[in-house]
């Protein structure tokens, strides 16, 4: 495989993984970022985010001089530029593409004649055409834009870069797609080459589908609770269906958060609206998600007889377990709602040291001591390991709202806690007869 000179523009969460990954595929990679501190950190082999395996891979690529980070680079020195900047939502859901166009401008100065600009950021369908027009206007009609969406999961980013389920390459023609596919030749995964709009839509469709499963699961969990059914078993039976799958996002919780699902569902809804095609199902998915935090607040308010002056301990602060990313975390949305109603909110998460609006005393016992209620936001081992009898001794009142169904409700009930899991028997048949 031929080593290519690759420039990665924007080395945040996605760009850092891309840069390290391409260096491990034996390319000669330079990462640039407008954030000088980030460049300095990465060049020193330091990585803030909790991504198993990535720091070691970063350090070995730096040591082997296949990778470096800088703020400025020589003009026309690269065969490829990967744009990995953010595409955050504007208030109406429309993605803000200003960082992307600024990055493309930088690519226009730094990519050699006939080179390729790869968009790795999540972009609305049609963005590749707009970028090529901007490059033409900048006198770089020789450059072409290829879209290679990133599907990795935070917390498993390094694993997902090396072993993705698929690589999607959206290009104007097969020759350009093939050039980009060769960059990833060291990865064994199915490669789907398609037109650019299909690749751009593929990322939004994937995230809309995942978000829909989350909202579907939350509604099913609510119904199961009303009927006295066992949601654990319910979701287990669904995951066993090969048409659904073992890793499906099926399980109750505070809803989907993070940097991708909320912004990408909003963007897709916006894109569809610009086409005069409302996506009713997606709208419902978003609506169900919005209501999750309110349900938790209502339960706490009713159980504690009001929230003013109450102390709530929030277990799990990041947008999901296994990451330190707080962006669009539903836990933090809940914390904001509780604070608004006069409650004091303390938090604990082993991967998070500080979070806006939440007092983080640093240890689990300190977070729950004197609390009136616990909110379990993450389904994870350290939460399961809490002994309810120990928690009962530390707390002022004994209530626990378990959003993801991650604790043993019988044990907590036995320790004197009121929980949100209904432990009554299943509803009787309509005629009252045993069947």
Ligand X SMILES: NC(=O)c1ccc[n+]([C@@H]2O[C@H](COP(=O)([O-])OP(=O)(O)OC[C@H]3O[C@@H](n4cnc5c(N)ncnc54)[C@H](O)[C@@H]3O)[C@@H](O)[C@H]2O)c1
Residues of this chain that bind ligand X (CB under 6 A): 9-15, 32-35, 38, 84-87, 99, 102-103, 106, 121-122, 150, 152, 154, 259-260
Contact (CB, 8 A) for 118 and 148:
yes
- Torsion, Cα of 312, 318, 320, 324 (10° steps): -150
> Whole-number minimum distance, CB 17 to ligand X, in Å?
8
CA angle 404/244/257 to nearest 5° reads 40
> Whole-number minimum distance, CB 98 to ligand X, in Å?
8
The answer to the question of whether 320 is labelled as a binding residue is yes
Rounded-to-integer distance, Cα 96 and Cα 270, Å? 12
Rounded-to-integer distance, Cα 43 and Cα 239, Å? 43
Residue 84 annotated to the active site: no
> Whole-number minimum distance, CB 100 to ligand X, in Å?
8
List of residues 6+ apart from 187 with CB closer than 8 A: 25, 162, 163, 164, 167
The answer to the question of whether 357 is labelled as a binding residue is no
Rounded-to-integer distance, Cα 413 and Cα 421, Å? 10
Rounded-to-integer distance, Cα 359 and Cα 345, Å? 6
> Whole-number minimum distance, CB 68 to ligand X, in Å?
15
Contact (CB, 8 A) for 161 and 307:
no
Closest CA to 352 of 340, 338, 367, 337: 367
Q: Enter the tokens of residue 10.
A: 């924007």
The answer to the question of whether 201 is labelled as a binding residue is no
Q: In the complex, which residue's CB is closest to ligand X?
A: 12
List of residues 6+ apart from 31 with CB closer than 8 A: 7, 8, 11, 15, 16, 19, 39, 42, 67, 68, 69, 70
The answer to the question of whether 279 is labelled as a binding residue is no
From the candidates 84, 260, 311, 360, give the one annotated as an active-site residue: 260
The answer to the question of whether 263 is labelled as a binding residue is yes
The secondary element (H helix, E strand) that includes residue 62 is helix 54-63
Rounded-to-integer distance, Cα 58 and Cα 45, Å? 6
Burial class of residue 141 (count of CB atoms within 10 Å of its CB; 0-12, 13-18, 19+): exposed
- Torsion, Cα of 266, 289, 219, 157 (10° steps): 80
The answer to the question of whether 393 is labelled as a binding residue is no
The answer to the question of whether 127 is labelled as a binding residue is no
The answer to the question of whether 59 is labelled as a binding residue is no
> With respect to ligand X, which residue has the nearer C-beta, 123 or 296?
123
> With respect to ligand X, which residue has the nearer C-beta, 12 or 77?
12
Binding residues for NAD(+): 33, 38, 87, 122, 154, 263, 327
Catalytic residues: 260
Binding residues for substrate: 151-154, 203, 249-253, 257, 320
């Amino acid at each position: 495989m031929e080593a290519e000179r690759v420039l990665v523009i924007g080395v945040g969460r996605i760009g850092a993984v891309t840069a390290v990954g391409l260096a491990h595929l034996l390319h000669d990679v330079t990462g640039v970022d407008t954030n000088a501190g980030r460049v300095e950190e990465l060049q020193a082999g330091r990585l803030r985010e909790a991504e198993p395996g990535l720091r070691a891979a970063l350090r070995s690529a730096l040591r082997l001089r296949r990778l470096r980070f800088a703020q400025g680079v020589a003009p026309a020195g690269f065969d490829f530029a990967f744009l990995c900047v953010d595409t955050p939502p504007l208030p109406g859901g429309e993605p803000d593409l200003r960082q992307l166009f600024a990055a493309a401008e930088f690519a226009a100065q730094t990519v050699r004649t006939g080179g390729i600009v790869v968009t790795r950021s999540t972009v609305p369908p049609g963005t590749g055409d707009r970028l090529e027009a901007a490059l033409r206007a900048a006198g770089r009609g020789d450059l072409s834009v290829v879209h290679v969406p990133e599907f990795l999961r935070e917390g498993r980013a390094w694993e997902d870069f090396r072993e993705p389920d698929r690589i999607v390459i959206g290009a104007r023609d097969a020759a350009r797609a093939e050039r980009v596919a060769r960059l990833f030749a060291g990865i064994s995964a199915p490669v789907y080459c398609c037109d650019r709009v299909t690749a751009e839509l593929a990322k939004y469709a994937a995230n809309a589908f995942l978000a829909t499963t989350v909202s579907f699961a939350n509604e099913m969990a609510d119904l199961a609770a009303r009927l006295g059914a066992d949601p654990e078993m319910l979701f287990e039976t669904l995951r066993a269906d090969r048409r659904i799958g073992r890793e499906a996002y099926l399980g109750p919780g505070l809803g989907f958060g993070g940097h991708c699902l909320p912004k990408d569902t909003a963007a897709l809804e916006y894109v569809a609206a610009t086409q005069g095609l409302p996506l009713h199902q997606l709208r419902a998915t978003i609506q169900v998600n919005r209501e999750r935090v309110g349900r938790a607040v209502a339960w706490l308010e009713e159980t504690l007889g009001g929230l003013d002056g109450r102390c709530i301990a929030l277990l799990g602060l990041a947008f999901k377990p296994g990451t330190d990313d707080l962006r669009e975390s539903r836990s933090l949305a809940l914390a904001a709602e509780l604070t608004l109603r006069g409650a004091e909110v303390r938090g604990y998460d082993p991967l998070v040291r500080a979070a806006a609006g939440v007092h983080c005393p640093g240890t689990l016992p300190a977070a729950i001591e004197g609390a009136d209620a616990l909110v379990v936001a993450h389904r994870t081992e350290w939460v399961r390991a809490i002994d309810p009898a120990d928690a009962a001794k530390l707390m002022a009142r004994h209530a626990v709202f378990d959003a993801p169904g991650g604790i043993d409700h019988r044990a907590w009930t036995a320790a004197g806690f009121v929980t949100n899991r209904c432990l009554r028997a299943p509803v009787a048949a309509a005629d009252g007869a045993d069947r």
